[in-house]
Amino acid sequence: MTGNVIEVNNLEYAYGSVKAVDDISFTVKQGEIFSFLGPNGAGKSTVINILTTLRKIQKGEARVNGYDVAKESKSVRRSIGIVFQMLCLDHEMTVSENLEYHGKIYSMPKKERKERIEELLKLTELEGKRNTLGKELSGGMKRRLELARGLMTKPAVLFLDEPTVGFDIQTRMRMWEYLREIKREGTTIFLTTHYMEEADQLSDRISIIDHGKIIVTGSAEELKDKLGKDLIYLETSNNKIAAEILRSLNSVKTVTEDTKSLRVMIGENVTHVLPQIMEKIREEGIDITTVNIKKPSMDDVFVHYTGHGLREGDTKEKYEGIETEGVSE
Ligand SMILES: Nc1ncnc2c1ncn2[C@@H]1O[C@H](COP(=O)(O)OP(=O)(O)OP(=O)(O)O)[C@@H](O)[C@H]1O
């Protein structure tokens, strides 16, 4: 292996005439948490299903732990853990029995099973629930048990499809802690999410995926830095002309006109640029009514590269004027 636990080259997948995955290539390095961030229908589950051998590859190549997904699917399956959106627990078994059963299927020796179950109950804080039936667990506990089950065989790579969907923020943050702990154990993690914060907080690297294509890949910091140093929100007495003035300034990277305000991405330190920006606008007789400064967030990154937000109803029109150059991978 090359230090890459996952290698994907020119992957394509179509459901009839619907192209779900459109020429995707990426690598995941040993020991990192790598996220696919994208809206519903972007193609995330299809990619994860192909990598975990649940869907047959149609076009392209993929290797997981050095094994060819198309030709060595058994070896791939033996070397990975999977936690999917759909719960696959046995509800009539207790927490411990579910883990025990999974270990047996994978022919883990009894002593190893016992030790691993204790480790995982501790990690997922289910020690007090070891004798509780699956059907008597809360939704969050079920998900934690799923996670423990996925980790039972100490897989080299763990695949998680939307691991915290439907969680409240506290439960989500706990899950992130578990995943960081798993990473500390040396496991590589590939996850899909449509939560900006999850991708931002948890991942070493993120690929933004939309309409079956990877649009950009990088660490959260890299993606934000690429966008610009700071973001200024301005409300003026004439946003249209103010936008034109701003676009002519070298220090301004992009200007997006929202219904009420202008979103100005700048490439330099805001303290140097803001006085100049305000002066230029005022010179044209335009009043500035509100100024707000913030650092670019993952939401800003997502909107910048995809032209829309993650929530339904966020439209391209709203973000006219978006730059798309400089996009890598
Ligand atoms: N079994 C299927 N039959 C036909 N079309 C499908 C099937 N599964 C997915 N699709 C289509 O393929 C595209 C990608 O779907 P996919 O489930 O991979 O996206 P996703 O990013 O995982 O979305 P979600 O977050 O909703 O799971 C969508 O247009 C979807 O409608």
Protein residue whose Cα sits closest to atom 4 of ligand 1 = 15
**pLDDT, position 97:** 96
Say what the pLDDT of residue 222 is.
93
pLDDT in tens, 145-159: 988 998 898 899 999
Higher pLDDT, 304 or 180: 180
Nearest CA to ligand 1 atom 29: 41
User: pLDDT > 90: what percent of the chain?
Assistant: 61
pLDDT score, position 165: 81
User: Residue 327: pLDDT above 50?
Assistant: no
Q: For the chain, give the mean pLDDT.
A: 88
**Residue type at position 280:** K
For the whole prediction, is pTM greater than 0.80? yes
Which mutation among 15, 51, 164, 193 tests ligand 1's pocket best, with the greatest number of atoms within 8 A of CB? 15
Span from the CA of 17 to the centroid of ligand 1 (angstroms) = 13
The CA distance from 41 to 192, in Å, is: 12
Q: Is the pLDDT of residue 317 over 80?
A: no
CA distances from 256 to 79, 301, 304 (A): 47, 13, 10
The pLDDT value recorded for residue 329 is 36
69 confidence band (pLDDT: 50, 70, 90): very high
| Residue 326 pLDDT | 29
Give the pLDDT confidence score for residue 18 in this predicted structure: 95
The pLDDT, as a whole number, for residue 312 is 45
Question: Residue 72 has what pLDDT?
Answer: 96
Indicate the helix (H) or strand (E) that contains 25.
strand 18-29
Which atom of ligand 1 lies closest to the CA of 49?
18
Count how many Cα atoms sit within 13 Å of the Cα of residue 265 in the half-sphere of its side chain. 20
Query: 95 falls in which pLDDT band (50, 70, 90)?
Result: very high
From the alpha carbon of 209, which atom of ligand 1 is closest?
21
Whether the pLDDT of residue 225 is over 60: the answer is yes
Tens digits of residue pLDDT in 5-42:
999 999 999 999 999 999 999 999 999 999 999 988 89
For 226-249, what is each residue's pLDDT tens digit? 887 788 999 999 999 999 999 999
What pLDDT score was predicted for residue 2? 56
- Band of residue 319 on the pLDDT scale cut at 50, 70, 90: very low
List the one residue out of 121, 119, 116, 122 whose CA is nearest residue 95: 121
Tens of pLDDT along 32-46? 999 999 988 899 999
Contact 231, 201 (CB under 8 A): no
How far, in Å, from the CA of 10 to the mean position of ligand 1? 19
| Residue with CA closest to ligand 1 atom 3 | 15
CA 114 – CA 127 distance, rounded (Å): 13
Sheet with 18-29, side-by-side order of all strands: 18-29, 4-15, 59-64, 67-68
d(CA 14, CA 247): 41
- Minimum CA distance residue for ligand 1 atom 14: 43
Name every protein residue with a CB atom under 6 angstroms from any ligand 1 atom. Answer: 15, 18, 20, 38, 40-46, 194
Asked if 249 and 217 touch (Cβ cutoff 8 Å), the reply is no
Residue 324 has pLDDT above 60, yes or no: no
Q: What is the pLDDT of residue 48?
A: 95
Supply the pLDDT for residue 311.
56
Q: Which long-range contacts (CB under 8 A, 24 or more apart) does 265-268 make?
A: 265/227, 265/228, 265/230, 265/231, 265/296, 265/300, 265/304, 266/228, 266/229, 266/230, 266/231, 266/232, 267/228, 267/229, 268/229
Instruction: Answer yes or no: is pLDDT of 198 > 60.
Output: yes
Nearest CA to ligand 1 atom 24: 40
